[in-house]
Amino acid sequence: MRSFGNRETEDIWKSRDVRSYPKKTLDILYALAQARNMSHLRQLTPPGAKLEVLHGDREGQPSLRINGQWRICFEWVSGEGAYNVEITDYHP
């Protein structure tokens, strides 16, 4: 991951403390950090962490589903990786 969209997500990544979120949150963040491209990301993500494109005020932004409430949203730059990674309470 190249950058974080908010301090909370960065703190979770650095501390590995996900008490406020489902346990698989770290697994999804690991996949995002290791992925070489979007196809590789699909292969690395745990079951249920559906890679999807958002709508509304986040139109076109990719996200990974943590659960029905939480998403990890990010911007993908080809050849570089994920930027502005943030855990967010997303409801279209």
Side-by-side strand order, sheet with 62-65: 51-53, 62-65, 70-77, 81-89
Report d(CA 41, CA 35) in Å as an integer.
Answer: 5
Task: Specify the pTM.
Answer: 0.91
Residue 92 has pLDDT above 70, yes or no: no
Residue 68 has pLDDT above 80, yes or no: yes
Alpha-carbon separation of residue 58 from 29, 40, 66, 92 (angstroms): 20, 23, 17, 9
Over range 72-84, report the average pLDDT. Answer: 96
Tokens 């709508």 belong to which residue? 55
* Domains of the chain, earliest start first: 7-89 (3.30.2310.20)
Tens-place pLDDT, residues 4-56: 999 999 999 999 888 889 989 999 999 999 999 999 999 999 999 999 999 88
Model pLDDT, residue 91: 72
Over range 54-83, report the average pLDDT. Answer: 94
Give the SS3 label for residue 17: coil
